[in-house]
Chains A and B, each alone.
Chain A
Amino acid sequence: MLNKDMSCEHYRYLKKIKRRKQIITITQVSIFVLTLILWEIAARMKLIDTFLTSSPSDIWNMFLHMAKNGNLAYHVGISIFENIVGFTVGTILGVIIAIGLWWSDFWAKVLEPYLVVLNTLPKTALAPIIIIWIGTGYSGIIVTAVVTSIVITIMNMFNSFISADENKIKLLKTFGASKLQIFTKLVFPQSIPAMVSTLKVNIGLSWIGVIVGEFLVSRAGIGYLLVYGGQVFQFDLIMMSLFILTIISVLMYKLVSIIENKFINWHQ
């Protein structure tokens, strides 16, 4: 971008834009750091009750303690496993069902009201039933995670499938394309961006399913740590679990974004 012929005015313009960006980043980081510092100071000066709020240093110590004895990796590992299986299965199954609905206009029309009703229902309300039916191990939790993400996947993907350009379908028909070819050459590829954004949403939804499932039954996982921390009134543990949960879900979201940018160079 650097150009020797750049005018002074243009240089100042670029500098101004860059400066603004820096200030925004600095402010963002400062808010976070300041909150932690104030929290720590307030805790040390006994302005707040650490029994109800914990403090950054206690959370950090709890983290070190649990990281050392291996408990942390164990619980986090289980939750991540349940989450990944949950959103992968939810997304794949949802896409397959959406393909079926696209294929059969009749069934799409018949099932539409059911999907709308299921979509408005908070899926976590089904968790107790699922756990009774499927069992209290990982499987029940994973199915809860699948159920939270599958309905929205079906709806998003189906809507994306049917939004394929009518004229492009007509074009393919003039080439003599079969319905399967229309799907594989046009409808599916044009829905890949929608699929990636659904995947992003599903990571979050699947976490809801996993945590609720773990609240209800599990003996392991981040949800279990949260519930256990609450029962024994150990706020260090609760806060640490929350931090870990946030960091993991942000990392997973970022990962999908990176994949998205890599593979979809034609989009935009």
Chain B
Amino acid sequence: MSNVPILNIRNLSMTYHRLNGEVKAIEKIDLDVYQGEIIGIVGPSGCGKSTLLSIIAGLLKPSSGEVILNGKKVEKPTKDIGYMFQRDLLFEWKTILENVLLGLEIQGRVTEESKKVAEKLLETYGLGDFKYSYPNQLSGGMRQRVALIRTLMLEPKLLLLDEPFSALDYQTRLAISDEIGLILKKENKTTLMVTHDIAEAISMSDRIVVLSNRPAVIKDIIEIQLTVPKGIWSPINCREAPEFRHYFNKIWKELDIHVK
């Protein structure tokens, strides 16, 4: 982890305008993110987590404030930022290999070389036999892995994950979050991950940002330090760490969720 942040979020606010009034989604968010960090973002549902990611990705224009990636202001989608969605969003009429190459295809950068890279990544992550299959022949977990490889193919400097596992069933979700956590660490990807699953956030993140109810402000930023024996780090093993429960309770209290 270097000391220079690669992403600065400065004083970010966002207000939505609707016919029946205006809604403040997020207010005065400040955050620095360092190379190789995985940051979990948790908050009550509907608090503006996805809005935050959309702004960072350059898909939405904030009402005020700015997002700076590697010293450059983000104003529209850039190829340095990879966005992974809740659903895999694979194109049903394209083969797995074509799906993985979609980003490069849009940017007109598909070459023999990039095809080889894609095939190798598929191979590495256990999808080598499915290169020429169609998405409907794959299980939910496999599809989500394809979606990650599609994002990685663009070699983004920053990855944004928007509840990437919430469309999966619980077992698949555990297995895939474990795998993807390992992949992100292995590729040393700086990542912002929105989730509503506290345990998932603790097991995968280096730091967790807790957001408040709407309008979302940063309530707390929690540094996660789990005692996991060296060499066997993985999100699943992180759940075994003695500090896990402590973090869980702390975040749960901060979220202050009441079911009315």
* B106 CB-CB contact with A under 8 Å: yes
In whole Å, how far is A55's beta carbon from the nearest beta carbon of chain B? 52
In whole Å, how far is B191's beta carbon from the nearest beta carbon of chain A? 15
Q: Which residues of B contact A266 (CB under 8 A)?
A: 92-93, 134-136
Q: Mark A158-181, 1 if CB is under 8 A from B, else 0.
A: 000000010110111111110001
Tell whether, in the assembled complex, residue A170 and residue B85 are in contact, meaning their CB atoms are under 8 Å apart: yes
Q: Mark A245-267, 1 if CB is under 8 A from B, else 0.
A: 00000000000000000000111
Binding site for B on A (CB under 8 A): 165, 167-168, 170-177, 181, 185-186, 189-190, 192, 265-267
> Which B residues from 75 to 105 make CB contacts under 8 A with A?
76-79, 81-83, 85-87, 89, 91-93, 102-103, 105
Tell whether, in the assembled complex, residue B85 and residue A175 are in contact, meaning their CB atoms are under 8 Å apart: no
Interface residues on B, range: 20 to 34
Tell whether, in the assembled complex, residue A176 and residue B79 are in contact, meaning their CB atoms are under 8 Å apart: yes
Q: 23 A-B residue contacts at CB 8 Å?
A: A167-B85, A170-B54, A172-B106, A173-B77, A174-B57, A174-B59, A174-B81, A175-B79, A175-B102, A175-B106, A175-B107, A176-B76, A176-B78, A176-B106, A176-B107, A177-B106, A185-B91, A185-B105, A185-B106, A189-B93, A192-B93, A266-B93, A267-B93
Q: Which 10 A-B pairs have the closest CB atoms?
A: A174-B83, A175-B106, A175-B103, A266-B93, A177-B106, A266-B92, A174-B77, A266-B134, A171-B89, A168-B89
Nearest chain-A residue to B78 (Cβ)? Answer: A176
Alpha-carbon distance A176/B154, docked complex (angstroms)? 11
Tell whether, in the assembled complex, residue A171 and residue B93 are in contact, meaning their CB atoms are under 8 Å apart: no
Q: Which residues of B contact A265 (CB under 8 A)?
A: 134
Tell whether, in the assembled complex, residue A181 and residue B106 are in contact, meaning their CB atoms are under 8 Å apart: yes
Q: Which residues of B contact A171 (CB under 8 A)?
A: 83, 85, 89
Q: Which residues of A contact B81 (CB under 8 A)?
A: 174
In whole Å, how far is A166's beta carbon from the nearest beta carbon of chain B? 10
Q: Which residues of B contact A167 (CB under 8 A)?
A: 85-87, 89
Nearest chain-B residue to A182 (Cβ)? Answer: B106
Nearest chain-A residue to B54 (Cβ)? Answer: A170
Q: A173-B77, A176-B77 are in contact. Are A165 and B154 (CB under 8 A)?
A: no
New A-B contacts (12) at CB < 8 Å, excluding given A165-B89, A168-B91: A167-B86, A171-B83, A171-B89, A174-B59, A175-B79, A176-B106, A185-B102, A185-B105, A189-B91, A190-B93, A266-B92, A267-B92
Alpha-carbon distance A180/B238, docked complex (angstroms)? 46
> Which B residues from 101 to 116 make CB contacts under 8 A with A?
102-103, 105-107
In whole Å, how far is A97's beta carbon from the nearest beta carbon of chain B? 24
Q: Which residues of B contact A185 (CB under 8 A)?
A: 91, 102, 105-106
Nearest chain-B residue to A181 (Cβ)? Answer: B106
Partner of B91, one of A170, A174, A175, A186: A186
Alpha-carbon distance A189/B89, docked complex (angstroms)? 15
Alpha-carbon distance A133/B113, docked complex (angstroms)? 60
Nearest chain-B residue to A186 (Cβ)? Answer: B91
In whole Å, how far is B85's beta carbon from the nearest beta carbon of chain A? 6
In whole Å, how far is A255's beta carbon from the nearest beta carbon of chain B? 22
Alpha-carbon distance A185/B91, docked complex (angstroms)? 9
Alpha-carbon distance A53/B86, docked complex (angstroms)? 65
Q: Mark B186-216, 1 if CB is under 8 A from A, else 0.
A: 0000000000000000000000000000000
> Which B residues from 98 to 143 make CB contacts under 8 A with A?
102-103, 105-107, 134-136
Q: Which residues of A contact B102 (CB under 8 A)?
A: 175, 185
Nearest chain-B residue to A265 (Cβ)? Answer: B134
Alpha-carbon distance A109/B69, docked complex (angstroms)? 39
Alpha-carbon distance A265/B106, docked complex (angstroms)? 24
Alpha-carbon distance A192/B154, docked complex (angstroms)? 28
Nearest chain-B residue to A174 (Cβ)? Answer: B83
In whole Å, how far is B192's beta carbon from the nearest beta carbon of chain A? 14
In whole Å, how far is B88's beta carbon from the nearest beta carbon of chain A? 10
Q: A181-B106, A185-B106, A266-B136 are in contact. Are A174 and B82 (CB under 8 A)?
A: yes
Q: Which residues of A contact B85 (CB under 8 A)?
A: 167, 170-171
Q: Which residues of B contact A165 (CB under 8 A)?
A: 89
Alpha-carbon distance A165/B90, docked complex (angstroms)? 11
Q: Which residues of A contact B91 (CB under 8 A)?
A: 168, 185-186, 189-190
Alpha-carbon distance A171/B154, docked complex (angstroms)? 13
Chain B CB within 10 Å — which of A175, A176, A267 has the most? Answer: A175
Q: Which residues of A contact B136 (CB under 8 A)?
A: 266
In whole Å, how far is B214's beta carbon from the nearest beta carbon of chain A? 21
In whole Å, how far is B143's beta carbon from the nearest beta carbon of chain A? 14
In whole Å, how far is B89's beta carbon from the nearest beta carbon of chain A? 5
Q: Which residues of B contact A172 (CB under 8 A)?
A: 106
Q: Which residues of A contact B82 (CB under 8 A)?
A: 174
In whole Å, how far is A185's beta carbon from the nearest beta carbon of chain B? 7
Alpha-carbon distance A13/B138, docked complex (angstroms)? 30
